[in-house]
Chains A and B, each alone.
Chain A
């Protein structure tokens, strides 16, 4: 049993539209950052620099760095 051409064409059209939908929220997020001037990725680097080294007493992951 073969797939009908109309079904195949509809799938192709819908897949192309889906790719656009996948990207849409990511683009919207960066547009928001651009408008508000937020740069959360920089905050993350800053936070890591200020973190005290963990010891066996304060570590919550039993000393594992994973």
Chain B
């Protein structure tokens, strides 16, 4: 019995350590093979994606290691393995809820509190979905990613195996939700699969619901950047009334007025500022910029080379940021 437990422990450890980068790499290869990045990955965006993927790891991983190995034992010396008696099933349920609900709030508040928006804007500035942009985040957003510290604390308290099991499942769901491969499409297409689709799209994040969150507009009945904040569980959006399910994929992604801020500003704002005038990341830029209107966005999609002029007719039109 102990050998079996040990086997599963090693399996989960390996999936956590090696499996996830392999999954991202494998899906990335598929996306490129299907031509999903064709003409959609300009040089500036490549720099943003690659720097956001590599550089935070050099900062965050040592920070989490310090927090786990030195900070927690120093603050709570008696608490190590104090909850190791919790059965795996309950440990898994408790962590899945605590972890993902915390992340739901972290994510939602970055969309609803104006001054937090600029720390999350980088993730939404990509005009495409896929593995390339999945890790695209400002360094501050990544460093203060509450869920990382929560998981580390749970491992310290003796809930390591369920915590890692949750992490493996969550990484898979969130990665697949960001993928440009619409794996959920057959569930909507075939009548026999529709009951499964009904449950699935309410329980976890799918490409349709998460792509809607990354849409450039919220006016077409498909895109909905004012909600769909869930990462692993979509259930939070259902419970809190922030869900929008259309079973369709947006025609345009990103921020309507985005004009390619430099990778340094996107990764390291507020330490580095954007040179793009009027950008939210520019030295005197607005906290939240008014969104280009839907017609202007459609024109831009038609002729991607020409950026559209800003239309400030409606004060509530703010990109990806939600204040209502």
Q: Are B101 and A21 in contact (CB under 8 A)?
A: yes
Q: Which residue of B lies closest to A18 (CB)?
A: B101
Q: Are B90 and A25 in contact (CB under 8 A)?
A: yes
- Give the residues in chain B near A17, CB-CB below 8 Å: 239-240
A66 CB to nearest B CB, Å: 8
1/0 contact string of A1-42 vs chain B (CB within 8 Å):
111101100110011011001101110110010000000110
1/0 contact string of B70-100 vs chain A (CB within 8 Å):
0001000000100011110010011001100
Q: Which residue of B lies closest to A45 (CB)?
A: B85
- Give the residues in chain A near B93, CB-CB below 8 Å: 25, 28-29
Q: How far is the CA of A4 from the CA of B321 in the complex (A)?
A: 13
Q: Are B240 and A14 in contact (CB under 8 A)?
A: yes
A57 at the interface (CB under 8 A from B): no
Q: Are B97 and A3 in contact (CB under 8 A)?
A: no
Q: Are A6 and B85 in contact (CB under 8 A)?
A: no
Q: How large is the interface on B (under 10, 10 to 19, 20 to 34, 35 or more residues)?
A: 20 to 34
Q: How far is the CA of A24 from the CA of B240 in the complex (A)?
A: 16
- Give the residues in chain B near A66, CB-CB below 8 Å: 73, 80
Q: Which residue of A lies closest to B81 (CB)?
A: A44
Known: A7-B324, A25-B93. A1 touches B287 (CB 8 A): yes
Q: How far is the CA of A2 from the CA of B238 in the complex (A)?
A: 26
Known: A17-B239, A18-B101, A40-B85. A3 touches B112 (CB 8 A): yes
Q: How far is the CA of A29 from the CA of B97 in the complex (A)?
A: 13
Q: Which residue of B lies closest to A43 (CB)?
A: B85
Q: How far is the CA of A40 from the CA of B182 in the complex (A)?
A: 44
- Give the residues in chain A near B85, CB-CB below 8 Å: 40-41, 43-44
1/0 contact string of B94-127 vs chain A (CB within 8 Å):
1001100100010001001110000000000000
Size of the A side of the interface (Cβ < 8 Å), in residues, is 25
The interface centre, meaning the residue of A1, A11, A21 with most chain B CB atoms within 10 A of its CB, is A1
- Give the residues in chain A near B286, CB-CB below 8 Å: 1
A-B pairs with beta carbons under 8 A, tally: 54
Known: A3-B323, A4-B324. A40 touches B86 (CB 8 A): yes
Q: Which residue of B lies closest to A1 (CB)?
A: B114
B288 at the interface (CB under 8 A from A): yes
Q: How far is the CA of A22 from the CA of B93 in the complex (A)?
A: 10
- Give the residues in chain B near A41, CB-CB below 8 Å: 85
Q: Are B239 and A24 in contact (CB under 8 A)?
A: no
Q: Which residue of A lies closest to B235 (CB)?
A: A21
Q: How far is the CA of A18 from the CA of B80 in the complex (A)?
A: 27
Which residue of the partner chain, among B87, B98, B112, B113, contacts A22 with CB atoms under 8 Å?
Answer: B98
Which residue of the partner chain, among A14, A24, A44, contacts B84 with CB atoms under 8 Å?
Answer: A44
Q: How far is the CA of A17 from the CA of B235 in the complex (A)?
A: 13
- Give the residues in chain A near B73, CB-CB below 8 Å: 66
Known: A1-B288, A11-B112, A17-B240. A40 touches B97 (CB 8 A): no
Q: Are A29 and B86 in contact (CB under 8 A)?
A: yes
- Contacts beyond the supplied A3-B112, A7-B323, A11-B112: 20 A-B pairs with Cβ under 8 Å: A3-B114, A4-B323, A4-B324, A7-B322, A10-B240, A10-B241, A18-B105, A21-B101, A21-B239, A22-B97, A22-B98, A24-B97, A25-B90, A25-B97, A29-B86, A29-B90, A29-B94, A44-B85, A66-B73, A66-B80
Residue contacts A-B, CB under 8 angstroms, 9 given: A1-B114, A3-B112, A10-B240, A14-B240, A17-B240, A18-B101, A29-B86, A43-B85, A44-B85
Q: Which residues of B contact A (CB under 8 A)?
A: 73, 80, 84-87, 90, 93-94, 97-98, 101, 105, 109, 112-114, 239-241, 286-288, 322-324
